[in-house]
Amino acid sequence: MKLFADIYRGKRVLITGHTGFKGSWLAAWLTQMGAVVGGFSDCVPTTPSHFDAMNLGAHLEADVRGDIRDREAMVKAMRQFRPDVVFHLAAQALVRKSYEDPALTFEANMMGTLNVLEAVRACPEVQAVVMITSDKCYRNDELVWGYRETDHLGGHDPYSASKGCAEIIAHSYFESFFKEGPACATVRAGNVIGGGDWALDRIVPDCARSWAAGQPVQIRSPWATRPWQLVLEPLSGYLWLGARLLLGLNEPFNLRSQAYNFGPAADVNNTVAEVVEALAMHWPGFTSEMDKNGQAGMKECTLLKLCCDKALAHLNWKATLTFDETIRYTAEWYHCFYKGQEGKQARNMLDFTLGQIAAYVNAAEQRNQVWVK
């Protein structure tokens, strides 16, 4: 079985934000496929963390600590590692924190994006770049249909606005400096869940922490809807897009300098309350309650959907898992971490993580996904 045309085997891949939730899953998957992986992050963002639970640093070619806002450090790391392909994920990724420290949020998400692109300009070995932003980069008008890649960018909260700005910066660089040379694109994913996320103010990590401690989980916005998807879903899209950029496959559609949404099927748009109820079925005996003060003075959109028709048309990419399967993968990872398997607490979650990746790949093959051949 070949994944992503087997393009990543032996390739040098640099991931910014590799110690984070999505970045660590991406690094583990690429390592499993035979890529030479390097990472650039300021720190391991949480304790515990997916990165540490897997002892992933021991399996990387380079594990560099640096601030994405420091252009000199970013350029130095890029030049030293000399990647073939770059996945940029490093960011300040929390809405509530963006209210607490808006300046840091804009610096990390705007200037961090610019610094990565400047580092790419300084490194002629780079062949492809995938810049990851967010589904919240769109100006959210609480519409019932999914946002398309051509819709207005921006947002009320500093996080959303900073991601809209990052998109504008990236596409300016694509048109100004990268019409030749490295093939670049931006990607916008829905609400990603899965094992190993312990970030603050996210409903799945909140559930895992509270339920593992035998406490009810606090729910801020039970009726808010999101395009929930397992972390491996958008990563498969990023990797397939990166593979096609590396291969120069631009027919029948030009992929260079494009933006793509990667989200679940249109009918997978569940509420926060439904996510909690579904998780509770796999972790019985625990309860939830409303956090009446959780959003005081803060605006966060309640309705958000993505239209992924462009990814289907250009890349023949579509989501693999159902909502129930997404919840099961997520619950099983946390259950293994906290309770272990066969009565033994897990010490290293790398094997379990790679096992979930293998199960996901098998599901994708059975459902005839184009990136599995």
**Residues assigned a catalytic role:** 159
Residue with tokens 């909502």: 323
**Which of 153, 126, 151 lies closest to 137, judged by CA?**
153
Q: Indicate if the alpha-carbon torsion angle 189, 193, 199, 204 is positive or negative.
A: positive
Residues sharing a CB contact under 8 Å with residue 129, sequence separation 6 or more, in sequence order = 85, 86, 88, 116, 117, 120, 178, 182, 183, 184, 185, 245
Report the alpha-carbon distance of residue 334 to residue 299 in Å, rounded. 30
Amino acid in position 324: D
Residues sharing a CB contact under 8 Å with residue 2, sequence separation 6 or more, in sequence order = 372, 373
Amino acid in position 185: A
**Which of 6, 2, 29 lies closest to 357, judged by CA?**
29
Inter-residue contact 78 to 123 (CB < 8 Å): yes
CB neighbourhood size of 316 (10 A): 11
